Chains A and B, each alone.
Chain A
Amino acid sequence: MATRAETARLAQPRTFSERLVGWVTRSPVHIVLLAIAALWLVPTVALLVTSFRPRSDALSSGWWHVFSSHLTLANYSQVIHTGGMGHAFLNSLYITVPATILPLTLGAMAAYAFAWTRFPFRDTTFLIIVALMVVPVQTAFVPLLKLFRENGHLNTEFYGIWLAHTAFGLPLAIFLFRNFFITLPKDLIEAARMDGASEFAVFRRVVIPLSVPALASFAIFQFLWVWNDLLMALIFVSDPSKQPMTVKITQLLSTYAQEFHILAAAGFLLMAVPLIVFFALQRYFVQGLLAGSVKS
């Protein structure tokens, strides 16, 4: 009790001097964080600005001369239409969305089973799955590609890359979710069962709503991973009309090696979606979802 009162007092300084002391003690952290943020932002801003500058400006002066040059959308129009980035953008979405949702749902269901049901060899199986996380993706490429080729040419469709990303994402998803689910109060799960909930209802109506932060973290992580992936896209998407932006950009690189403005527009298109996803999902990183449930 005493400690709670103390933290409450520290969290809400009342006098000016208390506030000043608080700011000074925290400010080194704030300054460092600001510096890191600025540093991270510089290349992004540079890319953004360059993508809007005409060719002549981009080649003759640096991006910081932005205020003395006029801005244009021509670069975007060129990459999207002539460069094929528009189509590649849709391919990227078409690959990434299922390759995020599949391991998310399958992983959550498996994790629920590992956390809250009983079956023979449950913990052994879980350990084996965790161990799978250390398998490097590269070791599986050749056999996987062979498997896909011999079974319905999965590599010529999107199925192949969906399956591959799901398979490689699942161990982490299961590990992450199981460890999160297991921290939910046991009474809560049992109360739902007593209320007549089937295992699936407990999962859907109690575990999932209370695990949103963990689910959102994984969703972002997996989305970024798949969106930015080049290696697996090169290997498992053999049909050129189905290739995602990452592959397209490498092709643009060889075509427009000196055309910074074009590459900048392509690069920013690639970046835009992860930013949107991140900002859309960040509000789910809320703490204290369990407040008021159980008294311990």
Chain B
Amino acid sequence: MASVTFDHLTKAYADDVVAVNDLDLLIKDSEFLVLVGPSGCGKTTALRCLAGLEEITDGQIKIDERVVNRVPSKDRNIAMVFQSYALYPHMTVYDNLAFGLKLLKTPKQEIRRRVEDAAKILNLERFLDRKPRALSGGQRQRVALGRAIVREPAAFLMDEPLSNLDAKLRVQTRAEILRIQQRLETTTVYVTHDQVEAMTMGDRIAVMRDGVLQQVGPPPELYERPVNKFVAAFIGSPAMNFATVHADQGKLKMGEQLLNLSGSRAKIAEQRHGKQLEIGFRPEDLEIANGTGDGAVSFPANVDVVEYLGNQELLHAQVEGNEIVALVASDRKVQVGDKVEFTIPNDKLHMFDPETEESLVPTG
């Protein structure tokens, strides 16, 4: 077990392809860190640099206090789970699991014990004599995990390990990976483009965009206090609603609608008087007004689509030329065509600078 430090890591494939740009990130011992971002943002590259599979252009990577920039993969004592699983097709499951240990000249007894332990954890005992081709996708995935576990490495690296599984298996395996990680307490760097995976699995989440780290923090922090519009839009499902407004005294003007603010948000609107602002609010923070609008931001909207989800429903509505989505309890019986008064609690309203897209609300 170990900590991992990315110290101003930069990786450029060519002068104009900077896959990872000045990444500064400390992953604590036994932490589960999720690296998340849209496709092509440099997650895999960052992971491969840590694995020693790519040469670093600039900066340092440390495992504990050891700088590993020039250490070959085989000597880094870290295990990687590949998106493609990359099982050795000519070896049985047992030999796949034992491969790393054999290379370390581990005694036979010890290998057998550790392989059997891992097989038990992963429910692979019955398959130890099979070749990978005789396994289902989910089983292959578990062998790939097992290969990492048996070595008891300093860290696990996982690159979208669930993306080849179907939806149901994905949820199961997600829990399985978490259980294993909590039990072994091995430092884990987990790459995904799926924000749901990130939110459910990570002790902390690091959001990347175009090779640049945007924000790092525990899931609730990213959800409640995103530092910029990109993180706000990326985290949360369904995605946050955005609208462009004008600051007017201590209030906001959305088209003809005047939105009342209070507290720090009113102050921001005052400071920015006459300027444009971008506001954001999550679908699940929207409520249908019930007459007691005590200081909350509120506005009317025309509902044009209703998606029924069971206990909740998704309302698609038009307000002053913006399309918004609200997630509300389904017992409110909203019909298509209804004009509904929505409210947002004052502290759930996000405000962004339209130029820099930075959050204007203190994110602490």
Using a CB–CB distance below 8 Å, which chain A residues touch chain B? 185, 187-188, 190-198, 201, 205-206, 209-210, 288-296
Contact = CB atoms under 8 A, between A and B. Distances in A.
A180 B252 CA distance: 66
Contacts of A193: 52-53, 72-74
B164 A295 contact: yes
Q: Which of A191, A192, A288 has the most CB of B within 10 A?
A: A191
A187 B157 CA distance: 14
B86 interface: yes
A187 B131 contact: no
A293 B103 contact: no
Given A195-B99, A292-B133, A187 B86 contact: yes
B74 A198 contact: yes
A187 B84 CA distance: 7
B83 to A, nearest CB: 8
A201 to B, nearest CB: 6
Cβ-closest 5 pairs across A and B: A292-B133, A292-B132, A294-B84, A187-B86, A293-B89
A194 B140 contact: no
Chain B interface size, under 10 / 10 to 19 / 20 to 34 / 35 or more:
20 to 34
Contacts of A198: 74
B85 A295 contact: yes
Contacts of A288: 133
A292 B86 contact: no
Contact of B88 (A192, A194, A295, A296): A192
A139 to B, nearest CB: 42
Interface of B: 51-53, 72-75, 78-80, 82-90, 99-100, 103-104, 131-135, 137, 140, 147, 151, 164
A289 B79 contact: no
Contact of B86 (A190, A196, A210): A190
A192 B74 CA distance: 8
Given A190-B73, A193-B53, A194-B80, A291 B89 contact: yes
B86 A293 contact: yes
A293 B93 CA distance: 11
B76 to A, nearest CB: 8
A190 B147 CA distance: 14
A191 to B, nearest CB: 4
A9 to B, nearest CB: 22
5 contacts: A194-B79, A195-B100, A292-B134, A293-B89, A294-B86
B82 A291 contact: no
Nearest to B99: A195
Contacts of A296: 84
Contact of B103 (A187, A190, A197, A291): A197
B133 A291 contact: yes
